[in-house]
Amino acid sequence: MRAGMGYIKALALIVLVCFLFGFAEYRHKARKISDVEVSFTGGENLYVTEEVVNKLLIQNESAGSSVDKEILDLNRVESLLNSHEMIENAEVFVTLDGKLEAIVSQRKPIGRVMGNTSFYLDRNGKVMPLSQNYSARVPLMLGFNEKTAPEAYSVANFIKNDLFLREHITSIHRLDNAKLEMSVRDRDFKLYFGDTSNVALKFNNFKAFYKKAQKDKKLDTYKKVNLQFGDQVVCTKK
């Protein structure tokens, strides 16, 4: 008899636990979205602001504060954010207290094309529109269009990732023969780069030349510095 009562109590306890768990799960899913919080990777919200992201979320019916967490389609919300022309990637999730959080990574420009149409070339080699909120400090790209701009990706990306080059290269000019020529900050000479082969070698040669010529105080004596000949730098004096 006692054994039977023990089984009954154990069964009743299991049923009660299952009921409470199910009830809690139901209440959790039925809770409304309490708030929306947006954060940017690296702390930067240069090209798209928190206000813009919030508006995108609010405009999406599935992300409204009156929507149950069970109904909320996070994939749809992420797709909405990722479709924005200034956003590279967005992750959206709901916290235990019912807060909708979005972590946004913005696109990063590495060059700015100036011409009949103006736009950025981003770090993935894709065309990126200019922003009304912020102007990136990147080299100008002259003589390019949307079709030819990706040709200079390897060059512009190398400059972006090198502190010395970021400080000294101010523009990349695509010549009529599709070769590249660059301008150097505070210097009169043109830097002839040629085609986009051997990017690291050419730039390393240029850095070595620049530092040596600067030490010898000869930088202002040149009108052209040519990097197209592999392991040597050919200079033309004024």
Handedness of CA 119, 45, 156, 164 (dihedral sign): positive
Do 109-237 and 31-106 fall under one CATH topology?
A: no
Range with the poorest average pLDDT among 2-16, 64-78, 218-232:
2-16
In sequence order, the β-bridge partners of residue 39 are 103
Q: Which CATH code is given to the segment(s) 109-237?
A: 3.40.50.11690
CATH code for the domain defined by 31-106: 3.10.20.310
140: CB partners within 8 A, 6+ apart: 111, 112, 113, 114, 170, 171, 172
pLDDT of residue 11: 54
Q: How confident is the model at residue 4 (pLDDT cuts 50, 70, 90)?
A: low
Give the neighbor-by-neighbor strand order of the sheet with 87-94.
35-40, 99-106, 87-94
Residue 15 has pLDDT above 90, yes or no: no
What's the rounded Cα separation, in Å, for the pair 162 and 180?
Answer: 18
* Per-range mean pLDDT, top range of 9-18, 96-105, 136-145: 136-145
> In a 10 Å sphere around its CB, with 0-12 CB exposed, 13-18 middle and 19+ buried, how is residue 163 labelled?
exposed
Is the entire prediction scored with pTM above 0.85? no
Q: Count CB-CB contacts under 10 A for residue 45.
A: 20
Q: What is the mean pLDDT of residues 189-204?
A: 96
- Domain map (residue ranges) of the chain: 31-106, 109-237
The alpha helices in the chain, defined as continuous H runs, are 2-30, 50-59, 74-82, 153-160, 163-168, 199-215
Predicted confidence (pLDDT) at residue 193 exceeds the cutoff of 60 = yes
